[in-house]
Amino acid sequence: MKNRLISLLICTLCFAAAGCRESPGKMTKDLETAFERGRTLGGIREFRLRSNGLRVLLMEDHSAPVAAVMMIYEAGSRDEWQGATGAAHMLEHMMFKGTAEYHKKFGTHPAKLLEAAGAEINASTQYDSTQYYAFLPSDKVSLALDIEAARMRGALLDAADFASEKTVIQNELERYFDSPEAALYNAVWQTAFRVHPYGHPVIGWREDVAGMTVESLRLFYDRYYAPDNAVLTVAGSFQTSSMLAEIAARYGGLQNPPRESLRAMPEEPEQTEKRSVEIQRPEGAQYLMAAFRIPGAAHPDRAALDLLSAVLGSGKTSRFYQKLVHSGMAGSVDVSASETRDPGLMTITVTLAGASHQQAENAVLEVLEELQKNGVSQEELDRALNQTRSALAFSRDGAFSSAAQIAQAVSMGDWTSYASYLDRAERVSKEDLHRAAKTYFKTESLTQGRLLTGARGQSGEAAVSGLSKTGAVGEHSAQGEDMQKAAEPKEPSPRIRSLLDSLGQIEENTSYGSGVKSLDVSGIRVLVFRTQVRGVVSFSGSMPRGGTAYSHNPVLAKLTAQMIDKGTVGRTSLEIPKLLEDRGAEIYFGNDSEYVRFQGRCLKKDTALVLELAAEQLRAPSFLQAEFDKLKERERVGLKQAMSSTSARAVNALLRGIFPEGHPLRPASLEQHLEALNATNLEDVQRFHRDHYGSQGVILSAAGDVDDREAAAAVKKAFEGWAPRHVSAAPVPAVEVPRQIVWETVRVPGKQNADIVMGHSVPLTRLDKDFAAISVSNAVLGGDFTSRLSSSVRDHYGLTYGIRSGLVGMNDRLTGAWIIHLIVNTPVLREGLVRTFEEMKLFREQGITERELREKKESLTGQFKTGLASTQALADQILKAQELGVGPAYLDRLPNLIREVTLTQAQETIRRYFKPESMIVVAAGTPSSDEAGFDFPKSTS
């Protein structure tokens, strides 16, 4: 279980440190009348509105000026009826279409208002619940609360909106089934559950989604979207009494609709024999999934099963990693215990490398048989508990993470498990783990899935003959119930206008320029920012001149970075992971075109050791031949996955089209990557490390509960004596823009969806004076959910599940590109391109409006604030500012640079830099004809 629940002890300590400013008993007489008190655990306070039964969970956290608002409805895909699978997910989409007063017709579209307030918004449909969230500056919380209240019982569910959104969802559905991993997951769950609705995909079956009506959605809405079936969670910087007053005012008058009693879930019969399913894909990696039936989240064995999953699959010391990955049989292995209210599955997913499906299955069963025979060691249990303690502490790093964990606990049946989980886990013994292994890892309860490449197997949907694809419980008719009639949009009331006017401009109250301590330690620039988060430290570091731009071999820099954590001169490939995983700490290494990058997170007490291990791995890797051979095999598997991915293939082809040979941002083709991988030897990697890895320009930033003097001492001890390497900056050849549109088809077999990416180069670096203006202009075009491209191509025409634009590749010395990415079902590819080019032409010719400018400036500055709300995000951004050469004070200046952009500046950047007539357009997927490519538009004018 990853980052899910947290103990009362850790919650209380972190909560106190964050600065709780009110006594739990401080409620006015009016609030006492409005709310019934519930439990208070781990800094979380429970209340219930007496008028309608709405449950409220509040957790104050004043470590950052942000807040997360989450509305959880205790209804998900398991609550759908026969013939209506996918209804919960389709309703989730429709909830963003508006209410009577929050509607696009009057400029008050809910998503547009929230994004203009700087919010990150989204929703998630699960088996047991549907969750909506807004993560935004805390002085904008009133807006999120008001919109959630308005749509709880006032969603319009308009037929015209439904018609366009339905095609969007069908696009999402096809993309889901195009994913090999998702297809295998779906086939295994369908095979394991023959009665319970967990057997059908959350997104629904194709025919049910195609036949869905808006009346069916309204039936689901009226049955489940009501105060007495909802939990409102707010975490972040606020005062509890004021928050309760706002909630009472906005939600107290909502009524529960008359409806039939909610039905009981059917119980899945006990599985008495092993079940198997195979699916097929034309190409790509192969997978094995082994799934065992486990009890629901409230079962007393749940903590033991979570710890077992850690012993089996968490980190390099885990049993499956050692048996399958370390041995070279697999590229990766993942162990996951489903977080479901009813009995679910523990799944073991193996990405095959050097082994066959049968060999991998035998290895999995051998590990489980050994576990059943001899149990676990005390060392393994202690390691799993320490990993749990650290993960729970990390989950408190930021209001959004806290709110998400609470919401997941609600979905699983009891929010208090969020505050009591560690206490239950610490009572688990070795004997409990041994008993759980013998109880649940039985062959007769195994469901096994295989994904093969080639001609055998089935497609992935309805892979099990004889199973109902409607699979949900009961039969219901939308005509048989007294449904609430759809309201009509109307002018927003003075109350809403007053609310919108009161939001004002985001106030900044954190100084990074003065708050960051900058030190030169043994030639390394160390940047430390202490936050109010207790007990957690995150760090990010970079070393220049070690990226892909510094070798003609396209895989050499990556292979070198990946060999860093495979053992050192002084410690084996298992010793360092053991030291880290015994403490629940994390270190990651990677690279981009310019830098070698490293990142980590740990508890405060382990900071010095973790920095020591990071330095040791960077400075003195062992470079063993056996480890290198296994790494190359895993990389081959990764390239197979990329070659079967429409998005990876499209992006690779676009960047190759935009940037010339020798440019740092131009990748090799995937085929060239594979050829270079086969040709690269260990001596090449050792030579690259010797010539490029050193202290030159190394930057290390740390944020959280970290003292600058202690950090400096740890860095000095770890890195002192590391010599710099003298490597010249990689050359940057000139980039030309095409004189006309270039069209390219990349064939990826067996796909229902196509990924389209298009773009052209832009002669700007991050430090150019026009960067702020072009950022705002891009936000208007395609930067978020309510941008022009999304509003038109997605919302109005229903042609894509997602469309975005962005600026990529720009740093202090490199110019980059302006790109657009959309996903379409293949039959509507041409129309999707036509509508996209229509919007691009209007954008270029007419520019943007004063209102759009104002809204996107507010959106960008608000999202900048929420983007700094965790220690890892802070460490990352401080590092990037230092790499740009502008220092941490740039984080203070950037919001003002955005606010100072004028309409004239934005219009000028569009005219100067945006060139629809020079786009390189790449579509990756399966054309209808093997001979020709995709049916591109004959004209875009």
Strand partners, 133: 70, 122
Going by DSSP bridges, is the β-strand pair 55-60/230-236 parallel, antiparallel, or unpaired? parallel
Whether residue 905 has pLDDT greater than 60: yes
pLDDT tens digits, one per residue of 144-164? 999 999 999 999 999 999 999
Three-state DSSP at 157 gives coil
Enumerate the H helices of 5-158 as residue ranges: 8-18, 29-34, 87-94, 110-116, 141-154
The two structure tokens encoding residue 518:
């900058």
Q: So what's the pLDDT on residue 15? A: 30
The two structure tokens encoding residue 553:
């071999």
Q: So what's the pLDDT on residue 487? A: 60
Q: So what's the pLDDT on residue 489? A: 74
The two structure tokens encoding residue 192:
């394991």
Would you say 459 and 751 are in contact if contact means Cβ atoms under 8 Å apart? no
Q: So what's the pLDDT on residue 759? A: 98
SS3 string, 597-640, reads EEEEEEEHHHHHHHHHHHHHHHHCECCCHHHHHHHHHHHHHHHH
For the chain, how are helix, strand and coil distributed in percent, rounded to 5?
Answer: 45, 20, 35
Whether residue 401 has pLDDT greater than 50: yes
Other CB atoms within 10 A of residue 140 CB:
25
Question: Which residue, among 613, 674, 616, 610, has the nearest Cα to 640 in the 3D structure?
Answer: 674
Q: So what's the pLDDT on residue 493? A: 80
Tell me what percent of the residues of the chain surpass a pLDDT of 90: 86
Would you say 821 and 775 are in contact if contact means Cβ atoms under 8 Å apart? no
Q: So what's the pLDDT on residue 522? A: 93
Render 852-917 in DSSP notation, one character per residue: HHHHHHHHHHHHHHHTTSSHHHHHHHHHHHHHTTS-TTHHHHHHHHHHT--HHHHHHHHHHH--GG
Residue whose pair of structure tokens reads 């559950």 in the numeric block? 193
Whether residue 550 has pLDDT greater than 70: yes
Using CB atoms within 10 Å of the CB of residue 711, give its burial: 0 to 12 exposed, 13 to 18 middle, 19+ buried: buried
pLDDT tens digits, one per residue of 833-847? 999 999 999 999 999
Render 26-63 in DSSP notation, one character per residue: ---HHHHHHEEEEEEETTEEEEEETTT--EEEEEE-TT
Rounded to whole angstroms, how far apart are CA atoms 871 and 396? 10
Where do the domains of the chain lie, and which CATH numbers do they carry? 28-257 (3.30.830.10), 275-397+409-453 (3.30.830.10), 514-719 (3.30.830.10), 742-925 (3.30.830.10)
**Predicted confidence band at 264 (pLDDT cuts at 50, 70, 90)?**
confident
Three-state DSSP at 796 gives helix
Strand partners, 754: 824
The two structure tokens encoding residue 27:
């409620």
User: pTM of the full predicted structure?
Assistant: 0.91
Rounded to whole angstroms, how far apart are CA atoms 603 and 389? 10
Other CB atoms within 10 A of residue 248 CB:
21
Whether residue 402 has pLDDT greater than 50: yes
CA atoms within 13 A on the CB side of 639: 20
**Predicted confidence band at 5 (pLDDT cuts at 50, 70, 90)?**
very low
**Predicted confidence band at 482 (pLDDT cuts at 50, 70, 90)?**
very low
Q: Of all helices (H) and strands (E), which one includes residue 222?
A: helix 214-224
Rounded to whole angstroms, how far apart are CA atoms 276 and 187? 10
Q: Give me the sign of the Cα torsion angle 785, 790, 794, 799.
A: negative
Q: What average pLDDT does the segment 205-209 reach?
A: 96
CA atoms within 13 A on the CB side of 272: 1
Rounded to whole angstroms, how far apart are CA atoms 750 and 165? 25
The two structure tokens encoding residue 938:
């004959």
pLDDT tens digits, one per residue of 347-393? 999 999 989 999 999 999 999 999 999 999 999 999 999 999 999 99
Q: So what's the pLDDT on residue 499? A: 78
Whether residue 18 has pLDDT greater than 60: no
Whether residue 19 has pLDDT greater than 60: no
Mean pLDDT of the chain: 91
Question: Which residue, among 716, 715, 771, has the nearest Cα to 886 in the 3D structure?
Answer: 771
Would you say 642 and 351 are in contact if contact means Cβ atoms under 8 Å apart? no
pLDDT tens digits, one per residue of 637-675? 999 999 999 999 999 999 999 999 999 999 999 999 999
Whether residue 828 has pLDDT greater than 80: yes
Q: So what's the pLDDT on residue 941? A: 67
Would you say 751 and 648 are in contact if contact means Cβ atoms under 8 Å apart? no
Q: So what's the pLDDT on residue 472? A: 46
Whether residue 261 has pLDDT greater than 80: no
- Going by C-beta distance under 8 Å and a sequence separation of 6 or more, which residues neighbour residue 735? 658, 659, 660, 663, 761, 763, 815
- DSSP character for 315? S
Render 581-601 in DSSP notation, one character per residue: HTTT-EEEEEE-SSEEEEEEE
Q: So what's the pLDDT on residue 24? A: 44
- Going by C-beta distance under 8 Å and a sequence separation of 6 or more, which residues neighbour residue 643? 283, 284, 649, 670, 748
Whether residue 107 has pLDDT greater than 90: no
Q: What average pLDDT does the segment 317-341 reach?
A: 97
Using CB atoms within 10 Å of the CB of residue 241, give its burial: 0 to 12 exposed, 13 to 18 middle, 19+ buried: middle
Q: So what's the pLDDT on residue 225? A: 98
Could you tell me the CA-to-CA distances from 531 to 64, 337, 535, 656 in Å, in that order? 9, 33, 10, 42
The two structure tokens encoding residue 863:
């999202």
Could you tell me the CA-to-CA distances from 650 to 367, 644, 820, 871, 898 in Å, in that order? 40, 11, 12, 34, 32
Three-state DSSP at 934 gives coil
Whether residue 51 has pLDDT greater than 60: yes
pLDDT tens digits, one per residue of 486-503? 567 777 788 777 777 776
Rounded to whole angstroms, how far apart are CA atoms 742 and 736? 13
- Going by C-beta distance under 8 Å and a sequence separation of 6 or more, which residues neighbour residue 871? 397, 398, 531, 533, 536, 537, 538, 601, 703, 704
Question: Which residue, among 230, 257, 234, has the nearest Cα to 53 in the 3D structure?
Answer: 230
